[in-house]
Structure 1
Amino acid sequence: MSRRSLSILAGGVLALVLAIVAVATLNLSPGGKSGGGTGTADIGGAFTLVGEDGETVTEADFRGKPTAIFFGFTFCPDVCPTTLFELSGLIEALGPDADKLNYAFVSVDWERDGPEDLARYTSSFDDRIKGLSGTQEQIESVTQAYRVYYKKVPTAEGEYTIDHTASVYLMDADGGFVGTLSYGEAHDSMLEKLKRLAANG
Structure 2
Amino acid sequence: MAKTYAIVAGTAIVALLAGLWFATARNAADIFAACRASQIAGGTGSIGGPFTLVNQQGQTVTDKEVITGPSIVYFGYTFCPDICPADTARNAEAVDLLEQQGIMATPVMISIDPERDTPEVMADFAFNLHERMIGLTGTVEQVKAASRAYKTYYQKQEGDEEYYLVNHSTFSYLALPEYGVVEYYTRDMTATEMAESVTCFVETAS
Q: Given the two structures, how large is their TM-score scaled by the length of structure 2?
A: 0.73
Q: 5+ residue gaps in structure 1?
A: 1-29, 33-37
Letter in 1 for 2:102: D
Residue 126 (1) aligns with residue 133 (2): no
Distance 1:48 1:39 in 2: 24
- 1:40 corresponds in structure 2 to 43
- 1:164 corresponds in structure 2 to 168
Distance 1:157 1:60 in 2: 35
Q: 2:102 aligns with which of 97, 107, 120?
A: 97
Q: 5+ residue gaps in structure 2?
A: 1-37
Distance 1:50 1:187 in 2: 27
Residue 81 (1) aligns with residue 85 (2): yes
- 1:31 corresponds in structure 2 to 39
**Once the two structures are superposed, what CA deviation does each residue of 1:29-55 show, in whole Å capped at 9, x if it has no partner?**
x736xxxxx841511111100011111
Give the length in aligned residue pairs. Answer: 166
Distance 1:55 1:158 in 2: 26
Q: 1:199 aligns with which of 193, 199, 203?
A: 203
- 1:148 corresponds in structure 2 to 152
Q: 2:177 aligns with which of 159, 163, 173?
A: 173
Per the alignment, do residues 108 and 48 of structure 1 end up closer, same or farther by CA in structure 2, a change over 3 Å counting?
A: same
Distance 1:39 1:137 in 2: 25
**Once the two structures are superposed, what CA deviation does each residue of 1:10-35 show, in whole Å capped at 9, x if it has no partner?**
xxxxxxxxxxxxxxxxxxxx736xxx
Q: 2:55 aligns with which of 48, 51, 55?
A: 51
Distance 1:72 1:134 in 2: 13
Identity of aligned residues (%): 31
Q: What is the CA distance between 1:179 and its match in structure 2?
A: 1.1
**Once the two structures are superposed, what CA deviation does each residue of 1:175-201 show, in whole Å capped at 9, x if it has no partner?**
522111211223332121121233234
Large movers: runs of 4+ above 4 Å: 155-158
Residue 106 (1) aligns with residue 110 (2): yes
Letter in 2 for 1:31: Q
Distance 2:50 2:161 in 1: 37
RMSD of aligned residue pairs (Cα, Å) = 2.1
Distance 1:176 1:49 in 2: 17
Per the alignment, do residues 92 and 160 of structure 1 end up closer, same or farther by CA in structure 2, a change over 3 Å counting?
A: same
Name the SS of the counterpart of 2:152 in structure 1: coil
Letter in 2 for 1:54: G
